[in-house]
């Protein structure tokens, strides 16, 4: 079955960088776009970024555009999120998500999430 | 970009029916599908309705979805409420370059 495992979260100071990873298994990773979605403590879900199956197109939420970069390595079945110039408001659980087979913009499977805390 | 607005919370008794709304701020609600997620504390979201009104396998038929163009909104209806339905519910849609989540609705079954 589909398995998504995020890693790389932790505590980081404002202005610093962090890279998250998402190891995928149980499906043909190279055939699917992939999302990052985050959830601040006690708050709702916020879509962060989407990358197409081959990395040819990337889409970002306005709140992270210019600071975050989504990428993937299909040879390693791994999705990444490079987060630069981090702000306290970036504190959240970050989920990677696989979209549905038919509709790219909806999540079908989710990882367990990794917590990023931006604090001095 | 558009927004999706949900009530912050709803509550109802076991066995009753509850409806959660999701109103699109601009553009037609019918222009793109709406999906609904359930999220229990400490867990990742899971889909309860996709493509406006379709249920994934394993989701009880007590869950149903609809859209109403006159109010530009989508709705999730849960009938025969059970205590296990207590959770946060999120609607989601998209446009050409963004996915958009509603703010979420906390459902209390008391």
For residue A117, is pLDDT > 90? Answer: yes
Q: How many CB pairs under 8 A join A and B?
A: 52
Of A47, A106, A112, the CB nearest to B98: A47
Give the span between the Cα atoms of A77 and A96, in whole angstroms.
13
Give the gap in angstroms from C-alpha A13 to the nearest C-alpha of chain B.
25
For A57-91, what is each residue's pLDDT tens digit?
999 999 999 999 999 999 999 999 999 999 999 99
Give Cα separations from B59 to A23, A42, B8, B64, B77 (angstroms): 27, 26, 23, 10, 13
For A5-48, what is each residue's pLDDT tens digit?
999 999 999 999 999 999 999 999 999 999 999 999 999 999 99
Tokens standing for A71? 């990428």
Between residues A50 and B1, the one the model is more confident about: A50
Binning pLDDT at 50, 70 and 90, where does residue B1 land? confident
Give the span between the Cα atoms of A41 and B83, in whole angstroms.
24
For residue B58, what pLDDT is reported? 95
DSSP H/E element including A6: strand A3-7
Q: What is the mean pLDDT of chain A?
A: 97
Give the gap in angstroms from C-alpha B80 to the nearest C-alpha of chain A.
26
Q: For chain A, what percent of residues have pLDDT higher than 90?
A: 97
Asked if B65 reaches chain A (Cβ–Cβ under 8 Å), the answer is: no
* DSSP codes, chain B: ---EE--SEEEE-TT--EEEEEEESSS-GGGS--EEEEE-TTS--EEEEBTTTBPPTTS-TTEEEEEETTTTEEEEEE-S--GGG-EEEEEEEE-SS-EEE---EEEEE-
Asked if A50 reaches chain B (Cβ–Cβ under 8 Å), the answer is: yes
Per DSSP bridges, beta strands A92-99 and A114-118 are: antiparallel
| φ, ψ for residue A88, nearest 5 deg | -55, -35
DSSP H/E element including A109: strand A107-110
For residue A102, is pLDDT > 90? Answer: no
Cβ neighbours for B50, distance < 8 A, ≥ 6 positions apart:
A100, A103, A106, B33, B35, B36, B56
Give the span between the Cα atoms of B44 and A12, in whole angstroms.
23
For B42-61, what is each residue's pLDDT tens digit?
999 999 999 999 999 999 99
């Amino acid at each position: 079955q589909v398995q998504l495992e995020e890693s790389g979260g932790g505590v980081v100071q404002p202005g610093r960088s962090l890279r998250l990873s998402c190891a995928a298994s149980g499906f043909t990773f190279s055939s699917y776009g992939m999302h990052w979605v985050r959830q601040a403590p006690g708050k709702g879900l916020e879509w962060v970024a989407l990358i197409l199956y081959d990395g040819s197109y990337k889409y970002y939420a306005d709140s992270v555009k210019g600071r975050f970069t989504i990428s993937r390595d299909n040879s390693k079945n791994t999705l990444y999120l490079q987060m630069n110039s981090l702000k306290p408001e970036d504190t959240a659980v970050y989920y990677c998500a696989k979209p549905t087979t038919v509709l790219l913009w909806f999540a079908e499977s989710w990882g367990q999430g990794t917590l990023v805390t931006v604090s001095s | 970009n558009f927004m999706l607005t949900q009530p912050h919370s709803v509550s109802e008794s076991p066995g009753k029916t509850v409806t959660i709304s999701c109103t699109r701020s601009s553009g037609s609600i019918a222009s793109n599908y709406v999906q609904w997620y359930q999220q229990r504390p400490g867990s990742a979201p899971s889909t309860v309705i996709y493509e406006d009104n379709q249920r994934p396998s394993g989701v009880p038929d007590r869950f149903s979805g609809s859209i109403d163009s006159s109010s530009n909104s989508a709705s999730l209806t849960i009938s025969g409420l059970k205590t296990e339905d207590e959770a946060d519910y999120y609607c989601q849609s998209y446009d050409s370059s963004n996915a958009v989540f509603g703010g979420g609705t906390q459902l209390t079954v008391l």
